[in-house]
Amino acid sequence: MSFIKKHKNKEKLAYRLPSYSPLAILLRFSIISLFAVLTLLLIVFAVGDGDKIYDIPIFYYLVIIIAFNIAAEVQIILDNVLERFLPIPNKIRLRLIIQSTSAIIILALTHKVVMGIFDPADLNSQTRPGIYMGLIIGLLFIFIMAQALTIARFTEKWTASQKQISDMKREKLEMDYNSLQDQLNPHFLFNNLSVLKSLIIYDKDSAVTFTENFTDVYRYVLQSKNKRLVRFKDELSFIDSYIGLHKERLGKGLKVKFLIDKDSKEKRIAPLTLQLLVENAIKHNIASSESPLVLEIVANEDFVRIKNNVHVKETSYSTKTGLSNLLNRYELLSDKKIRIESNDVSFLVEVPFLLGSE
Q: What is the pLDDT along the chain (358 residues), one digit of tens a residue?
A: 443 444 444 445 555 556 667 887 788 788 888 888 888 777 777 666 555 555 567 877 788 888 888 888 888 888 778 878 887 767 778 877 888 888 888 888 887 887 777 765 655 555 566 666 777 777 777 777 777 766 776 777 777 767 776 666 665 555 555 554 545 456 566 666 766 666 677 667 667 777 766 777 777 777 776 788 889 999 898 888 888 877 877 888 999 999 999 889 999 998 888 988 988 898 889 989 889 999 999 999 999 999 999 988 876 555 556 677 788 778 878 888 999 999 989 999 999 998 876 6
> Which residue from 231, 224, 227, 218 is spatially nearest to 260, judged by alpha carbons?
231
102-123 core/surface letters (b: 16 or more CB in 10 A; e: else): bbeebbeebbeebeeebeeeee
d(CA 156, CA 137): 28
> Which residue from 353, 235, 257 is spatially nearest to 309, judged by alpha carbons?
257
pTM over 0.85: no
d(CA 345, CA 265): 29
d(CA 263, CA 31): 63
Q: What is the pLDDT of residue 6?
A: 43
> Which residue from 137, 150, 75 is spatially nearest to 106, judged by alpha carbons?
75
d(CA 68, CA 206): 93
Q: Is domain 203-352 given the CATH code 3.20.20.80 in the classification?
A: no
d(CA 22, CA 30): 12
Provide the residue ranges of all domains of the chain, joining segments of one domain with +: 3-168, 203-352
Beta carbons of 348 and 342 less than 8 angstroms apart = yes
Beta carbons of 300 and 233 less than 8 angstroms apart = no
The DSSP output letter for 337 is: P
Instruction: Name residues whose C-beta falls within 8 Å of residue 291's C-beta, 6 or more positions apart in sequence.
Output: 253, 311
Q: What is the pLDDT of residue 307?
A: 95
Give yes or no for a cis peptide into 89 (omega within 30° of 0): yes
d(CA 95, CA 190): 61
Q: What is the pLDDT of residue 18?
A: 61
Coil, strand or helix: which one is 297? Answer: strand
Radius of gyration of the chain measured on its C-alpha atoms:
38
d(CA 260, CA 299): 5
The DSSP output letter for 19 is: S
d(CA 28, CA 25): 5
Beta carbons of 249 and 293 less than 8 angstroms apart = no
Q: What is the pLDDT of residue 340?
A: 93
> Which residue from 355, 206, 347 is spatially nearest to 278, judged by alpha carbons?
347
Q: What is the pLDDT of residue 186?
A: 60
3-state percent breakdown (helix, strand, coil) of the chain, nearest 5 = 70, 10, 20
d(CA 43, CA 126): 12
